Amino acid sequence: MNLIAELAGDEKSEKSRTFVFSEGGHTVGNALRSIVSRYPEVLFCGYTVPHPAEANMHFRIQTSGVRAVDVLRRGIEDLEKLCDHTINTFQVNWLM
């Protein structure tokens, strides 16, 4: 998975950030939100797709003290592991 995000706005706190994904949509947004929202240090996690004609997705994270960018990085890594496991399980059980 190759996700590229940039910060939106001028936020002063590192524990509350909005990231803009240029190639994101509901599929990635909902999967990532599902993973990140389960972390105990996350107070809020959500995403929006501002307009269906644009490929941008805005992803918001607020934490109780951990840097939001670190939580995002962990979430992307965990999502990648989940995708790899799903593909491997499918290949072992259905293609062989």
Over residues 11-26, the pLDDT tens digits come to 678 999 999 998 878 9
pLDDT band at 4 (very low <50, low <70, confident <90, very high): low
Nearest residue to 42 (alpha-carbon basis) of 51, 33, 29: 33
pTM score, whole prediction: 0.82
**CATH number reported for the structural domain that contains residue 87 in this entry:** 3.30.1360.10
pLDDT of amino acid 1: 44
Which 3 state secondary structure label does DSSP give 66? coil
Q: Which domain covers residue 81, as residue numbers?
A: 5-94
Structure-block tokens of residue 12: 């002063």
Q: What's the number of domains the chain is made of?
A: 1
Identify whether the C-beta of residue 39 lies closer than 8 Å to the C-beta of residue 71: yes
HSE-CB of 37 using CA atoms within 13 angstroms: 12
pLDDT of amino acid 42: 98
Q: What is the pLDDT of residues 33-65, one digit of tens each?
A: 999 999 999 999 999 998 888 888 999 999 999
